[in-house]
Structure formats: C-alpha cells, structure tokens
Amino acid sequence: MKIRVTGFDPFGGEAVNPAFEAVKRLPRKIAGSGVEILEIPTVFHTSIRVIMDRAEETGADRILMVGQAGGRFEITVERIGINVDDARIPDNEGNQPIHVPIDPEGPAAYFATLPVKAITEGIRSCGIPARISKTAGTFVCNHVLYGVLKETAKRNLPVKAGFIHVPFLPGQAVSRDGVPSMSAETITAALKAAVEAVAAVDEDLKISGGLKH
C-alpha cells in the first residue's frame, strides 16, 4: 500500500506549520506500507491540484491530509468536508473567498473515506489525546478535504482520503496566553499511529463516536 501524507506550509503570519513539521518527521515505511510526504500550499484550489497531480504522477492508495488548528487541545480526526469556502483571513496568495461553494454543482458535503474511528482509537492507544471532529472549518483545510474527496469520487479512483487537524507547537503558543500546544514529537507519534490504522483497517470500527449536542 502507498500512503501519501500531506502537510501545509506556514500561513497567517506563522513562521512554521505544525502539520508539515510533524509530517516530514514520519518514517518512510510504516506497518509495511510506503509513506510519501508532500508539502502543499495554503492556497485555495491550487492545494487540491497539487495533491491530485502528485497522486496521478506517482500513485496513492490512501491520502491523509494534515493541517493546523490553533486553539484545539487534541489531535482531531475530521469526519466531513463541506462545500463552502468562508475565509476569515486570506490564503498565502491573498485569496479570501467569502461564503462561496467550492463546487457550485457539487453535493453539500463528503464524508472522509478513511477509518476515522480506528484512527482516533489508534492515536489514543499511544496515550495521546484525540477525538473525532465534525467540522474542518471553512478555510483551506476543509477546502482540500472536500476537494480531494470530490476528485476521487468524480474520477472513480480506488483511493481513500481523510484529514487530521493538529494543535499549535509550543513555540507558537508561548506568546498566546491560555492557548494549548503539543510538541512536534508527540504530533509525529500521533500521525504514525494514524498511518498504522490507515494501513491496517479497511472497514471502520463499530464504536460510538457521536456527540449529544
């Protein structure tokens, strides 16, 4: 199995992005599967093209995308990508779409096709806080989750895809009072556990991952 793991470049004035800082530390072979890493631009539409172009060039059985979610305490495994761009800040090329669909003719949402519950449990088994998230936001993270799921479905590709959000690094949080952080080493360990679950599990676990409200 070939698993591609992507991480964004820094955005929003940050000097680093914890997503790619952790992704680039991953072993290139995990659980018998080849791991290929890819840094992608924090830019609407271009980010999707970069991922899909590389998938066409070199192939991929699974695509695990990783992004920064400053302010979140845990590793969060995204369940769904929604068909809207609503950017609070510009992307790295100055684009700031506000309340516009990613695909005007596409469905309202796509569910991640990677085993989100197995991934979450795999991370937790390493003693790292993790939960399933019902929102990937409305910035470029949600944009690539929706876009890649749309492209794999549209092209009828036998590729499963999903997205994980990670907290700030300590260096990013040090000047932000009360903002949580997680070390690059811990995030990398969480992503390694996630890749192990992706490699091992086809049908997701039948366990509760819902919320009351």
The amino acid sitting at 135 is T
0.95 exceeded by the pTM? yes
The catalytically annotated residue of 21, 74, 78, 121 is: 78
CB within 8 A of 210, min separation 6: which ones? none
Q: Establish whether 45 is a catalytic residue.
A: no
CATH H superfamily, domain 2-200: Peptidase C15, pyroglutamyl peptidase I-like (3.40.630.20)
Q: Establish whether 141 is a catalytic residue.
A: yes
Task: Count the helix, strand and coil residues of the chain and give each as a percent rounded to the nearest 5.
Answer: 30, 20, 50
**Residue from 123, 107, 13, 106 nearest 66 by CA:** 123
Q: How confident is the model at residue 209 (pLDDT cuts 50, 70, 90)?
A: confident
The whole-number pLDDT of residue 59 equals 92
The catalytically annotated residue of 74, 121, 165, 196 is: 165
Ordered by start, the domain boundaries in the chain are: 2-200
Per-residue pLDDT tens for 95-114?
999 999 999 999 999 999 99
Q: Would the pLDDT of 151 be above 90?
A: yes
The catalytically annotated residue of 21, 141, 143, 151 is: 141
Task: Name the average pLDDT for the chain.
Answer: 97
Q: Would the pLDDT of 212 be above 80?
A: no
